[in-house]
A = this chain, B = another copy of it.
Amino acid sequence: MTNKDARTPASVQDDMSQEAGKSIGWHKAYVEGSRPDLRVPVRQVHLTNGQSVTLYDTSGPYTDPLVDTDVRRGLPPFRENWIIARGDTEEYAGRPVRPEDDGIKHTSPRGGLRNLDAVFPGRPRQPRRGRSGQAVTQLAYARRGEITPEMEYVAVRENVSPEVVREEIAAGRAVLPANVNHPEIEPMIIGKRFLVKVNANIGNSAVTSSIEEEVEKMTWATHWGADTVMDLSTGRNIHTTREWVLRNSPVPIGTVPLYQALEKVDGRAEELTWEIYKDTVIEQAEQGVDYMTVHAGVRLPYVPLTANRKTGIVSRGGSIMAAWCLAHHKESFLYENFEELCEILAAYDVTYSLGDGLRPGSIADANDEAQFAELRTLGELNRIAKRFNVQTMIEGPGHVPMHKIKENIDLQQEICDEAPFYTLGPLTTDIAPAYDHITSGIGAAMIAWWGTAMLCYVTPKEHLGLPNRDDVKTGVITYKIAAHAADLAKGHPGAQEWDDALSDARFEFRWEDQFNLALDPDTAREFHDETLPAEPAKTAHFCSMCGPKFCSMKISQDIRREHGGSRGEIEEGMAQKSKEFAASGNRVYLPIAD
């Protein structure tokens, strides 16, 4: 399966199952909550010693052989009953979908390019919103003391009490992004008291990509562990691509509505208006987008602060808004209309991701006046959003050298009342295009340890091109490493059990268990087989690094066997054991082949 195959989205699912099937040694299981329709998926790894390890699972129904998935139909809307049961939302006719939603002008000669077959064929639905402008958000529920099924679901997932989940959401320290129009998702939570999360970006551009590639990247990203996915499409078929992605995504979907709004004015930033933007937000909220990046912190007075930067404004959203402010010499229409925007988001439970449009794009620009001026505005906007019961997280940089990272999270937590921080890396150096998953993985691990709640991945293609399927996988795996390293450093309860299980398997030469417990079992197995392909090597008590004649792990096992027990026993028994060891032939290792 390559990216070059021209295929319909329908074929994605089969390939995914096949991929999943390759990873033997684990199966999808469910932990039941307090009600039969609350079943939380986990990845159950079966070890050869009869034990099993339970891991967090983001792969959705695709890895459950008992669920018959079909990307043309979409995932089952299992959360729908919970939403309906609350009785505070209503279905309504909704905004009609227009050709320009997909970038097609009635007058455009290019209208014919649109691939009508691509329209999502799944179940017809009407959008839903809060009755008479009610805030139907998890924040509103948490504040009035209600524990929703969504909260209980994430409590099971995170192995904490539902009350902890409710408290963190109520305090604004965590968000549970779950648009009432996206009932397909498996609820998840983003907050510093919980496991660090990873977002994967997908999306076409004017230059490249297709709908099926984007749907495939979404399922592929969640297969490897992405907790949320942002659809950053900027080319054709934006609306339709998003529909396919939303209906098939088991994780919350984020967008930057400004990108689509810009397409509607044919790329002319200065022609953007609050009305066009607002219409786009409603369009996306009706489709079910769970969180939206809003660059309302890019204010007119901050634009000149970027003039003497090394790399100016590198955020697309930030530069669109800067261009708009520049053209009209007016305050940002997002900033000016923020309260109205809050009312809209509250009606669908769309979560804010307040964008850092002025984030540094180079080491030289890190932590400068422009960046922190915007951060202070984000703190102000966060407080407004909370007044409207809108869940809010704050986006962060960018390019930041290691010694300036901590200041970012500390300031953000202070200024934004501990709202979840959601950072892109940060990249700790500019010198390694093609390896920015690594330059940024370093910064991501550190900032997550210090309190960032979600990390936006960076792929090897950053700065160079759009990620393909392999890049998406590399980006997700790198960021899962950063997130887990942070979970360990934060002392997250239970995080080390995974490391311990894998290290036990390593020490005991249980190669198959080591592979199955690995973040990427396929590649671990493949690398091992490159040097020692024979099947017996998988049960051999040695590996290719030392070979059969000498093995340090084996010696350690001998030491443990001889010295296991309390320190007293160990010291006492040493001389005796030494004699026995000599008597047994003085072999630290009996070669199995020579």
> In the complex, A34 Cα to B401 Cα: how many Å?
36
Closest to A552 in B: B319
A488 contact from B402, B449, B489, B491, Cβ within 8 A: B402
How far, in whole Å, are A558 and B306 apart by their CA atoms in the complex?
11
Q: Bound complex: CA of A180 vs CA of B558, how far in Å?
A: 41
CA distance A486 to B506 in the complex (A): 31
Name the B residues within 8 Å of A496 (CB-CB).
363-364
Nearest B residue to A579 via CB reads B329
Neighbouring B residues of A12 by C-beta, 8 Å:
none
Interface string of A433-461 (1 = CB under 8 A from B): 11101110110011001000000000011
Q: When chains A and B are docked, how far (Å) is the Cα of A518 from the Cα of B430?
A: 9
State the CA gap A579–B248 with chains docked (Å). Answer: 47
Q: Do A550 and B503 have beta carbons less than 8 Å apart?
A: no
CB-nearest residue of chain B relative to A518? B433
For the complex, count residues of A whose C-beta is within 8 A of B. Answer: 136
- State how many angstroms separate the Cβ of A452 from the closest Cβ of chain B: 13
Q: How far is the CB of A188 from chain B (nearest CB, A)?
A: 20
Report yes or no: A559 in contact with B270, Cβ–Cβ below 8 A.
no
A114 sits at the interface (CB 8 A)? no
Residues A589 and B435 in contact in the complex (CB < 8 Å), given A546-B206, A578-B328: no
Main secondary structure of the interface of A (DSSP, over half): helix
A588 touches which of B270, B556, B559, B579 (Cβ 8 Å): B270
Chain B nearest CB: distance from A579 CB in Å? 8
Is residue A507 within 8 Å, beta carbon to beta carbon, of the partner chain? yes
A190 within 8 A of B: no
- Chain B hits for A548, CB < 8 A: 206-207
A518 CB to closest chain B CB (Å) equals 5
- Please determine whether B489 and A403 come into contact, CB atoms closer than 8 angstroms: yes
Q: Tell whether, in the assembled complex, residue B271 and residue A488 are in contact, meaning their CB atoms are under 8 Å apart.
A: no
Q: Smallest CB-CB separation from A362: which chain B residue?
A: B503
Q: Check A507–B311 contact: CB distance below 8 A.
A: yes
Q: B442 contacts A481, CB within 8 Å?
A: yes
**Which chain B positions have C-beta within 8 A of A480?**
432
A553 within 8 A of B: yes
> Residue A464 at the B interface, CB < 8 A?
yes
Q: How far is the CB of A45 from chain B (nearest CB, A)?
A: 11
Taking CB atoms, residues of chain B closer than 8 Å to A303 are 559, 563, 574
Q: Whole-angstrom distance between the alpha carbons of A243 and B499 in the complex?
A: 40
Asked if B311 contacts A553 (CB within 8 A), the reply is yes
Chain B residue nearest in CB terms to A514: B433
Measured between beta carbons, the chain B residues less than 8 angstroms from A235 are 547
Give chain B residues whose Cβ lies under 8 Å from the Cβ of A431.
481, 484, 498-499, 502, 517-519
Roughly how many angstroms separate A207 CA and B549 CA in the complex, as a whole number? Answer: 10
Q: Are B428 and A304 in contact (CB under 8 A)?
A: no
CA distance A485 to B401 in the complex (A): 7
Contact call A445/B428, Cβ cutoff below 8 A: yes
Contact between chains at A503 and B206 (CB < 8 Å)? no
* Structural contact, A430 and B503, CB atoms closer than 8 A: yes
B318, B465, B560: the one within 8 Å of A528 (CB): B465
Segment touching B, from A147-155, A275-283, A565-573: A565-573
**Cα–Cα, bound, A523→B433 (Å):** 8
Contacting pair B363 A499 (CB below 8 A) = yes
Does A24 reach chain B (CB closer than 8 Å)?
no
Report if A206-B547 is in contact (Cβ < 8 Å); known contacts: A306-B559, A570-B307.
yes
A557 to B312 alpha-carbon distance, docked (Å): 7
- Let me know if B312 and A560 touch, CB within 8 A: yes
Most B Cβ at <10 Å: residue of A207, A303, A327, A430: A430
Asked if residues B524 and A438 are in contact (CB atoms below 8 Å), the reply is: no
Whether the pair B578, A327 counts as a contact (CB closer than 8 A) is yes
Q: Is A134 an interface residue (CB 8 A)?
A: no
Option from B312, B465, B562 in Cβ contact (under 8 Å) with A544: B465
Determine if A430 and B499 form an interchain contact, defined as CB atoms under 8 angstroms apart. Answer: yes
Residues of B within 8 A of A486 (CB): 402
Pairwise interchain contact B531-A466, C-beta atoms closer than 8 A:
yes
A468 to chain B, nearest CB (A): 8
Residue contact A588 to B323, C-beta cutoff 8 Å: yes
B532 touching A304, Cβ below 8 Å = no
Given A430-B506, A461-B527, list of 4 further CB < 8 A pairs?
A205-B544, A267-B549, A311-B506, A401-B485
